[in-house]
Structure 1
Amino acid sequence: MTALPRHRLGRWAGDLALGFRLAVGGGRTSGTGITRLLLGTIGIGIAVTVLLFAASADHAISGREARKLAGVPESTPIAGVAPLTLHDGSTSFRGQRISVRYVHPGGPTSPTPPGLDRIPAPGEMVLSPALADLLRSEDGSLLRPRFAGPEIGTIGVPGLVNPDDLRAYVGADASLIGKPVYAFGSPSPRDGLDPGLLTLLLIGIVSLLAPVFVFVATSARVAGAERDQRLAALRLAGSDLPQVRRIAAAESLVTAACGLALGTGAFLALRQLTPSVRVRDGSLFAADIAPPWPLVAVVVLAVPALSVLSALAALRGTAIEPLGVVRRAKPVRRRLWWRLLPIVLGVLPLATLSLRDGSKLVTVAVATGVACLLIGVPAILPWLLERAVARFHGGRPPLQLAVRRLQLDSGTPARVVAGLAVVLAGAIALQSLLTGQAQALDPGPPPARTTTDLSLNADAQAGPAAVAALAKLPGLATPYLIRQVHLRGADPGRMESVSIADCATWRAVAGIEDCVDGAVYQDRSAGSTIHSGQSYVATYFDEQEREAGTWTVPAMVPSTRQGSYSSVMATPGAMTGLDLSQVWGSATVRVTSDDPDFAEHARNALAPFTWHTSLYLPTPLRQLSPTQQAYLAIRAGLLAAAVFTLLLAGVSLLVLGLEQVRERSRTIGMLAATGVPVRVLARSMVWQNAIPLALGIVIAVATGLGLSALGARLTGAAFTVDWLAVGVLSASAAALVLLVTAVTLPSLRGAARLASVRTE
């Protein structure tokens, strides 16, 4: 490759240096240049912040998933490893679930749980930071009796899923009954997403990121009219057109570099707040928000490249000559064909391809199609605005001023609302797709709790003492423990259960007044398959299924159940041949107390029994499939990101609105000096933004509905339009533009002062 001559390199370096100087100090005063640079930097900086957070999403999700899998116990024996006995328990505190794991090492080679330096000795505790903070707080005084042992450390990040995890490891003695653990950690087989959810995720991500690139391109064209005037002055001084382009590129590079620095600083500062931001699956560690270096390089290279290309593209429509800028004359009519090209390129893959084959190439093509379709919104909006105002005549003075301004320059007002129109189009498409997917995947609200009664579980050793401890509390009825075993006969696919309790319990809960120890009672109306004289293998569950022995059913006495326990009710004397010493019992504790913390006092009363008992409020559970769980996670993430993108749109609109007023300050000052009232100028500003906004909403609604229809074709779901949501989103976009316009009115009044005319 032929090297450039040294004198040409020097000339290029001089042009770039001049561009750098003009970017900071260009204009009639240095303050003007700094204001121009500041506005462009803010716009690009906000976009860079969003891009860096978006680039960190996969790392954050994979990091949390890896920590979750790292705590999964493995019970497969490993040679040379003494198993760690682990009992998974839990407690609750005012609606917050607290995981409590009781551990006892089988030897010096027992595995240490992730996040711990060593296995705690009996009675010792290792707490998560969030649980330790809760115990030290004033509200935690009611929780401290359950964690009275010495705290020997804090669970590290590898042992926590989220910063707000409430988790504890408590050492136990050799009597601990649990499952043997030889290692911690489980492989993470990632199954592919359902095609419908993959389509939803792709459209959502692209819809939320496309406006960011629009804002970058728009911010790079801040103060375009002033730049053209400076470049015209350079042409008058002898610069040729290639020099002018290099100087303009250097100016945009300065703004992009400052925006990159501002966006990176804002990203580093805001990510420190992520532990305090809680979403559906919990908060994140600040270290989770770390974009991979390849994506960082893409952002660092793409933002300046997009800024330079946007600035050079703006010069193509403007003839910069030594005696002025031709753009002040009637502008050349915009062409339509190339503006329709992104829309056509976007529709083709979405209308012809399918994600069901799982091809990565098809996935990339679909994502590209969504991006092209959304890019068509800011591409076609200036052309449509130009045609809409070209033949408009008449009206009141504010409207005439606004229309005349739009006729002379429809590009700048269109750019002000273009980014918001893209956000609106993506939000409408996302809302419609979510509505369509919700019919099949949304489980609805969780069922409401129908009782305030407590559920008690206790092993055979601690059961009587636990019942006595609860009986001392006011507002709690005496609980009756009932144990249960499962019977497995000749048919392994069919199991029946037997409830076991003493006669005092059966008299109280089942009304069996003539109960005798050694008898078995059966409610034959329940259709039980257990028959007298048959033998069954009795099993129970304690971390895993265990056998209690073989039981031959004696003669059973007919009876009628009055509760929800098994149809076969046995007394301990009838269970000969079975080892029931490790079978836990359960009971419902009737609550008559009005104290909202009655459950906390009951749990504290059982605290001395550690892992031997548990007490909780029965909560109806929703059984969600993996696809439903993925849908809920995707919906929560996309809606949270949509709110953030909408805030970005508002800030970017404010930056562009202030720049629009500043760029027109001379014209506004002249109009005010000739007697035009400020209120007329303010109303013209409202009209100047309202007309492009109305057209932008029309294009956004059409694009959003078209995108959702194509997305429904990809997912195979029904195309559903939530017109209420469309109306609310459109009204929100309109309100946002009007709010930004109202915020810019003070700067408009400042530009209309006579003193500002003298500075011009």
Structure 2
Amino acid sequence: MRLGRGTWRDLAMGVRFAFAGGREGWVRALLTAVGVGLGVALLLLTTALPNALAVRHERGDARADTNYGEHLKRADNTLLSANASTTFRDTDIRGRDLEPEGPKAPLPPGIDEFPAVGEMVVSPALKKLLESSDGKLLRERLPNRITGTIAESGLIGSHELAFYRGAEGLTPDGAGITRIDEYGNPNPTESESDPVLVLLVLVVFVVLLMPVAVFITAAVRFGGERRDRRLAALRLVGADGRSTRRIAAGEALAGAVLGLVLGTVFFLIGREVAGSVEMFGQSVFPSYLNPSPLLALLVAVAVPAAAVLVTLFALRGVVIEPLGVVRTAKPARRRLWWRLLLPAAGLGMLYPMVGQGRDGGDFNQYMVTGGVILLLVGVTALLPWIVEAVVARLGAGAVSWQLAVRRLQLSSGTAARMVNGIAVAVAGAIALQMLFAGTSSDYTKDTAYDLSRAQMQVSVPKGKALAPTARQLAETRGVRQVYAFDEGYANDGPGDDANWARVTVADCTSLREVAKLPSCRDGDVFASHVTPKADDGSSGSQNADDESTVAAKPGTKLWFDTSEDPEKPTSITWTVPKVVKQAESIDDPTGYRRGGILVTPGAFPARAATAVRGQIYVRLDDSLPDAREYVRNTAARIDPNQEPMTWVSVKRNDEYSSIRTGLFVGAVCVLALIGASLLVSQLEQLRERKKLLSALVAFGTRRRTLSLSVLWQTAIPVGLGLLLASAVGLTLGAVLLKMTDTPVRVDWSSVLSMTGVGAGVVLVVTLLSLPPLLRLMRPDGLRTE
């Protein structure tokens, strides 16, 4: 359908009113543009996220240094790469020791030449940390001279801590050492997606974007009452009803287009700021945040179109006459039936996928997205009706209460629009919290580590004796106790059909951590028996005496494999002493019950030292904040290529943890948008009521009364919105849990925390709006020209 010349003329006139209509026109246009711009900036950021994630993944693949099982021989194009990663105060540091074996050895992405022995190339963030006072302990672990920095192409984030260090004497059969002839994965494969994780990602995106869309639609309606009065003046000079609506649409279009410009500016500023910010351990380079051209074009078209449609929709029930606007009369009562259709349709779209879970097939992404959107849009449709129905029944009270209630009764729709974004965000957050809480057990595992007995574990490198290594760790600052074990296996014969036994070598103090001993002194040998215990479902529990298939009887001859080369097997024999004491196995610090043979150092042959491998459990002094760093420094001196294991009580799936992190980062951005948009909306409301407030002050109304009335005007719709959001969020959360075939369980603490966060944002915005409110409450505000 072609637009006539009159239509274009009316739209152009609306644009002129927005920018050339005096202070009122450009202030309203600016407020609209700021509100729309904040939403557009977040939408552009969202459209850039897929590209950012893809680039991070590509950068990670490009620097992969594994040969994927391929056996490579030394050549002039091979490189030995040893894992030297470490951790500093819960932050991972990626490190590699490099030894080129020829002039054509592949360079890692981001560096121009290999560092020499004793030198290293570091990321800019690591260099900054090492040069700061906070990096004193880390400098002890990484004392090498810094000769350069890793370029952006070799890092996945601006705050990533990484280094490459020169090395010599590496062997390809060493722990964590590989020989490669190129970087990267030559045969990348797509892993099969987990339907539940896909569902989580979809819901996260919808929940984070819906409040943005709600705020954009609310922003284009700023100053609606004053605009309608201007339109009435246009009717007085001869414009008809259709023309006035087209002029209003043009005015909204101008604000939306200006909002697009401001949104682009906000996004570009935020894009640069993103390079200097780290959130929840994640960072990006500004170059990562390039929106998809197609999605950016969709935003550029959808926002102005939405502004026009929302304006026309808002004017559908307003009769603009030459002598005024018939909005000042009692508005027609809102109808409920069509508002209930939206959430009902959403539930109808989600219902066919109930019970599918992980084994029932993939979820239909379009139905999931559509169903969640309809449920959340149902919040925005139901809230105005609920606010209108409740405030119509509110009665007498204090003067501030009466002023607030009367204002809400006259313009309940404006109050509901201010709260819609908060309500949608809270409803979505409650549903997500329920979904995460319900599915967390599938992606978290109890490690069974006893953190009251030890908190770290250090592996003794090959060729190092257990006792002096344990002594070195025991003398480390922040260490209270160490439990050291040499562990290995012995057979009762050299053949493949021989029976085997687990052998644990340790002093009496350490052995008492794994078994109940009748008595113990150096030179004793024990036969440890595992008694079954009730299965507690933990990963470290051992419930059967399957640690040994050979009886530890006196005089039994056992063989230890001491081979250095698998192709040249060697072994030594050991005869079990005449006295073997009986011991009952107990949970060791890892939660494991070990059976087999327990041997004190005095009874173990020194010739069998290469047949066992040392493990040391470290108990820390929790009162010393950097106790773990001291242990890591000592471990680095023992073996630079072995990172001590830090025990945790629960381990999460990496992809699941990434989705949670993405949710938190997105929630912070959306909450910032909510707060900023609410503040802009609140200031716009106060500006429209400037003369009314001035008149009330001139008649003697106390400022305290007016301030309380403004607070009540915010608190009443916010309270109703949060109640509705809780109901919708619980419903959506229950449906999502049913879809994943997970028992429905309400985490009330999360529900209360989400509603509390929403109320907190509104409270902060209200407090920030008090200073301009006090400035507006002056009698001279009635002055006019």
TM-score (norm 1): 0.82
Query: Which residue, 126, 138, 148 being the options, matches 1:153?
Result: 148
The residue aligned with 2:61 is 69
The residue aligned with 1:709 is 734
Task: Please tell me whether residue 344 in structure 1 is matched to residue 352 in structure 2.
Answer: no
Q: Distance in 2 between matches of 1:493 and 1:209?
A: 64
Task: Please tell me whether residue 83 in structure 1 is matched to residue 78 in structure 2.
Answer: yes
Question: What does residue range 88-237 of structure 1 map to in structure 2 within 5 Å?
Answer: 88-91=83-86, 93=88, 97-176=92-171, 177=174, 178-186=177-185, 188-237=188-237
Q: Distance in 1 between matches of 2:768 and 2:458?
A: 58
C-alpha deviation, 1:49, in angstroms: 2.2
Q: Which range is displaced more, 72-81 or 298-307?
A: 72-81
Deviations 1:112-136 (A, max 9, x none): 2333323334443222223222222
Distance 1:240 1:501, change over 3 A: closer
Q: Distance in 2 between matches of 1:385 and 1:597?
A: 54
Deviations 1:446-485 (A, max 9, x none): 8636448884634438999989998998999999998766
The question of whether the paired residues in 1 share the 8 Å contact of 2:477 and 2:627 is answered with no
The question of whether the paired residues in 2 share the 8 Å contact of 1:533 and 1:552 is answered with no
Task: Please tell me whether residue 729 in structure 1 is matched to residue 754 in structure 2.
Answer: yes
Q: Distance in 2 between matches of 1:367 and 1:114?
A: 39
Q: Distance in 2 between matches of 1:99 and 1:52?
A: 31
Residue type matched to 1:173 in 2?
E
Query: Which residue, 383, 386, 401 being the options, matches 1:384?
Result: 386
The question of whether the paired residues in 2 share the 8 Å contact of 1:350 and 1:369 is answered with yes
Residue type matched to 1:684 in 2?
S
Q: Which range is displaced more, 458-467 or 432-441?
A: 458-467
Deviations 1:349-389 (A, max 9, x none): 12233565888882111111111111111212222333334
Residue type matched to 1:567 in 2?
I
Distance 1:523 1:110, change over 3 A: farther
Distance 1:172 1:221, change over 3 A: same
Distance 1:573 1:530, change over 3 A: farther
Task: Please tell me whether residue 620 in structure 1 is matched to residue 640 in structure 2.
Answer: no
Residue type matched to 1:52 in 2?
L
The residue aligned with 1:327 is 327
Q: Which range is displaced more, 136-145 or 364-373?
A: 136-145
Distance 1:424 1:664, change over 3 A: same
Q: Could you list the runs of 5+ residues in structure 2 that have no partner in the other structure?
A: 512-516, 530-546, 589-593
SS in 1 for 2:282: coil
Residue type matched to 1:351 in 2?
Y
Q: Distance in 2 between matches of 1:115 and 1:678?
A: 63
The question of whether the paired residues in 1 share the 8 Å contact of 2:620 and 2:628 is answered with no
Distance 1:740 1:98, change over 3 A: closer
Residue type matched to 2:149 in 1?
T
The residue aligned with 1:518 is none
SS in 2 for 1:759: coil
SS in 2 for 1:687: helix
Task: Please tell me whether residue 303 in structure 1 is matched to residue 303 in structure 2.
Answer: yes
C-alpha deviation, 1:229, in angstroms: 1.6
Distance 1:118 1:449, change over 3 A: farther
The residue aligned with 1:367 is 369
The question of whether the paired residues in 2 share the 8 Å contact of 1:486 and 1:538 is answered with no
Q: Distance in 2 between matches of 1:514 and 1:450?
A: 23
The question of whether the paired residues in 2 share the 8 Å contact of 1:480 and 1:587 is answered with yes
The residue aligned with 1:658 is 683
Q: Distance in 2 between matches of 1:571 and 1:57?
A: 59
Query: Which residue, 460, 463, 467 being the options, matches 1:460?
Result: 463
C-alpha deviation, 1:267, in angstroms: 2.2
Distance 1:747 1:109, change over 3 A: closer
The residue aligned with 2:570 is 550
Q: Distance in 2 between matches of 1:312 and 1:185?
A: 55
Query: Which residue, 673, 681, 686 being the options, matches 2:706?
Result: 681
SS in 1 for 2:577: strand
Residue type matched to 2:570 in 1?
T
The question of whether the paired residues in 1 share the 8 Å contact of 2:454 and 2:618 is answered with no
Distance 1:602 1:246, change over 3 A: closer
Q: Distance in 1 between matches of 2:622 and 2:670?
A: 48
Distance 1:665 1:492, change over 3 A: farther
Question: What does residue range 464-613 of structure 1 map to in structure 2 within 5 Å?
Answer: 523-525=526-528, 528-529=548-549, 549-551=569-571, 553-557=573-577, 567=597, 574=607, 611=640
Residue type matched to 2:712 in 1?
W
Q: Distance in 2 between matches of 1:593 and 1:676?
A: 60
C-alpha deviation, 1:606, in angstroms: 8.1
Q: Could you list the runs of 5+ residues in structure 1 that have no partner in the other structure?
A: 516-520
SS in 2 for 1:208: helix
C-alpha deviation, 1:591, in angstroms: 9.2
Distance 1:636 1:595, change over 3 A: closer
C-alpha deviation, 1:199, in angstroms: 3.2
Q: Distance in 2 between matches of 1:730 and 1:696?
A: 10
Q: Which range is displaced more, 562-571 or 394-403?
A: 562-571
The question of whether the paired residues in 2 share the 8 Å contact of 1:501 and 1:572 is answered with no
C-alpha deviation, 1:216, in angstroms: 0.4
Query: Which residue, 431, 434, 441 being the options, matches 1:429?
Result: 431
Deviations 1:143-189 (A, max 9, x none): 44544444343223343344333332222234544332233223554
The residue aligned with 2:33 is 41
SS in 1 for 2:460: strand
Aligned residue pairs: how many?
Answer: 731
Q: Which range is displaced more, 527-536 or 337-346?
A: 527-536
Deviations 1:650-707 (A, max 9, x none): 2222221221121122333344444444444333333333332333233222211211
SS in 1 for 2:742: coil
Q: Which range is displaced more, 470-479 or 133-142?
A: 470-479
TM-score (norm 2): 0.80
Distance 1:219 1:418, change over 3 A: same
C-alpha deviation, 1:218, in angstroms: 0.5
**Identical counterparts, % of pairs:** 38
Residue type matched to 1:342 in 2?
L
Deviations 1:479-521 (A, max 9, x none): 999876656876599975667999xx99xxx999998xxxxx9
Q: Distance in 1 between matches of 2:393 and 2:480?
A: 84
C-alpha deviation, 1:344, in angstroms: 2.2
C-alpha deviation, 1:215, in angstroms: 0.5
The question of whether the paired residues in 2 share the 8 Å contact of 1:500 and 1:572 is answered with no
Q: Distance in 2 between matches of 1:710 and 1:74?
A: 43
Distance 1:135 1:221, change over 3 A: same
The question of whether the paired residues in 2 share the 8 Å contact of 1:501 and 1:571 is answered with no
Residue type matched to 2:746 in 1?
V
Distance 1:260 1:345, change over 3 A: same
Residue type matched to 1:378 in 2?
T
The question of whether the paired residues in 2 share the 8 Å contact of 1:24 and 1:33 is answered with yes
SS in 2 for 1:683: helix
C-alpha deviation, 1:198, in angstroms: 3.3
Q: Distance in 2 between matches of 1:231 and 1:347?
A: 41
Aligned CA-pair RMSD: 4.4
Q: Which range is displaced more, 36-45 or 106-115?
A: 106-115
Distance 1:535 1:604, change over 3 A: closer
Distance 1:67 1:749, change over 3 A: same
The question of whether the paired residues in 2 share the 8 Å contact of 1:460 and 1:585 is answered with no
The question of whether the paired residues in 2 share the 8 Å contact of 1:454 and 1:591 is answered with no
Q: Distance in 2 between matches of 1:546 and 1:640?
A: 50
SS in 2 for 1:68: helix
Distance 1:490 1:99, change over 3 A: farther
The question of whether the paired residues in 2 share the 8 Å contact of 1:163 and 1:285 is answered with yes
SS in 1 for 2:221: coil
Deviations 1:319-369 (A, max 9, x none): 122332221222223233332232222121122335658888821111111
Question: What does residue range 402-417 of structure 1 map to in structure 2 within 5 Å?
Answer: 402-417=404-419
Q: Distance in 2 between matches of 1:335 and 1:369?
A: 22
Distance 1:692 1:160, change over 3 A: same
